[in-house]
Amino acid sequence: MLRRRAGGILMHLTSLPSRYGVGDFGPQAYAFADFLKQAGANYWQMLPLTYPTAQGGYSPYNCMSAFAGNPMLISPEKLYQDGWLTQSELDAAEALPADAAAFNRAGRLRSTLLGCAFERFDTHAHRDTAYQAFLEQASGWLDDFAIFKVLKARQRGASWAQWPAAFRNRRKNTLERFAREQRDAIEREKFIQYLFTQQFSALKDYCNDNGILLFGDMPIYVQYDSADVWAHPELFKLDRSKKPRCIAGVPPDYFSKTGQLWGNPVYDWDANAQRGYRWWLQRLGHNLTLFDLLRIDHFRGFEAYWQVPAGHKTAVKGTWIEGPGADFFEAALRQMPQAALVAEDLGVITPAVRELIEMYQLPSMKVLQFAFNGRTNNTHLPFNHIRNSIVYTGTHDNNTTLGWFKGEASAAARKQLAAYLGTSVSSRSVVPEMIRLAMASPARLCILPMQDVLALGAEARMNTPSRRSGNWTWRMAPGSLKKSTANALSQLAQTYGRL
């Protein structure tokens, strides 16, 4: 439960400026933390930090591991400062475009630099107590991930379902022999995850020391071609050949007339329950060590989830299947009673989902772009907001507020918004008016996307659900963190009791 009024900004790390293709844990992340403090913000919300893939469109919600961090977020500058790179190696790194995320080139660049760092990882480093502590702490997932990653490279990127049977079925003797033969390559993957953890922890400490809490996001599903499904196929609905029998998605909704077909394998919740939800609790605990507050994406999937037979081209002909519900959360909260969780409850929400949210007093979400549909009982309208909730102008799945107003809001929605505000609304005024409306909401936490803080248009949209390419690439322009912007946000936070 959220206990006091506060504010924050939604800004994914890859959207920060840097000369290395994507934003990372480097100097601009610390500058953004300074900006948050000056703006009177208490929360930095970011998207999942897990390992995305080219096949998944570099979506942070479609990754090759539910645990491993994204190496592209490792800062070359920090590697130099920590002694893992030389000045000449840093200077030789190619400067990449700053206007949009260049994931492919950024990945190649990081691979080269991390290779240089790994060459300095000698026998003395193996005895480093911090590294040994990391190996012990991550032992539940790190070995499987490192072997999976190296195996995938040796199989030329093929899905694990296409690997030779001995690897696909995880034959013990075969994996042990492979681990001996590929010891250095496997150790390299573990070292990269160590660097990720070290840099992230340093940034988190800096934020926390400055009164800023990190607000993370955990997708409910994992990618089929992932270390998790390969290592734990019994936890998913797979056939005898270990191919998905059913895939995840959502029925037709606001974003798509044919629904969204995500393609992730769905969980065999009975099998998970029989094992005490061990994998799930490990995953939840891992995320709660990273973040001070954690949003569970597609929360309604725990009450019931949309299951589509594998092979269907759209999500229209799916079926709602009962999820684990309270049984899962009872198990989770017995083990992690102080877990600070948020329910992403957008979309088709039933009374049963509401009951589950209220049972555990989880904060829910309110989005102002969804508020103006003519109905006074719309839960997104500010006068209907409950205190234990988080209000957004829009989320990473929405257009920017300016883009919404200019290209998506109906004439009726514009009229209702103007009536609600008691003043006419234009393209020039809509963003500050919506920000003020969010700040004034009864919701205890107000989160503003950085694109709205900068009053950017549709060109700055982060993600369009159901669109297969062109997402996640928005980058904030260098020099955007202006003192005047921070001061204006701080004044609003003070006015509406969010300091």
Residue 254 has pLDDT above 90, yes or no: no
In a domain, 104, yes or no: yes
Task: Give the tokens for residue 444.
Answer: 């205890």
Query: How sure is the predictor about 309, in pLDDT bands with cuts at 50, 70 and 90?
Result: very high
Residues 6+ apart with CB under 8 A from 191: 114, 117, 118, 121, 131
Is the pLDDT at 126 greater than 70? The verdict is no
Q: Among 297, 303, 345, 433, which one carries the catalytic annotation?
A: 297
pLDDT of residue 122: 72
Which entry of 77, 397, 433, 452 is annotated as an active-site residue?
Answer: 397
List the CATH number of the domain containing 427. Answer: 3.20.20.80
Q: For residue 258, give every residue at least 6 positions away whose Cβ sits within 8 Å of its Cβ, in sequence order, or none.
A: 252, 314, 315, 316, 466
Per-residue confidence (pLDDT) for residue 256, from 0 to 100: 79
Of residues 447 and 467, the one with the higher pLDDT is 447
Q: What share of the chain is helix, strand, coil (3-state, %, to 5)?
A: 45, 15, 40
Q: Is residue 1 part of a domain?
A: no
Q: Evaluate whether residue 486 is within a structural domain.
A: yes
pLDDT at 320: 95
Active site annotation includes 217: no
pLDDT tens readout for residues 457-495: 999 999 998 788 899 999 999 999 999 999 999 999 999
Do 377 and 384 form a contact (C-beta atoms < 8 A)? Answer: yes
Give residue-wise pLDDT tens across range 43-89.
999 999 999 999 999 999 999 999 999 999 999 999 999 999 999 99
Quick one: average pLDDT of 332-360? 95
Q: Is the pLDDT of residue 127 over 80?
A: no
Please say if 397 is a catalytic residue: yes
CA dist., res. 269 & res. 286, Å (int): 20
- Residue 170, SS3 per DSSP: coil
Is 181 a known active-site residue?
Answer: no
Per cent of the chain over pLDDT 90 is 93
| Euclidean distance between CA atoms 317 and 172, whole angstroms | 40
Which residues form the domain of 40? 6-495
pLDDT band at 125 (very low <50, low <70, confident <90, very high): low
Catalytic residue, from 189, 303, 344, 345: name it: 344
Tell me how far apart the alpha carbons of residues 10 and 431 are, in angstroms, rounded to a whole number.
Answer: 15
Q: How many structural domains compose the chain?
A: 1
Structure tokens at 449: 């996307």
317 occurs within a structural domain: yes
pLDDT more than 70, % of the chain: 99
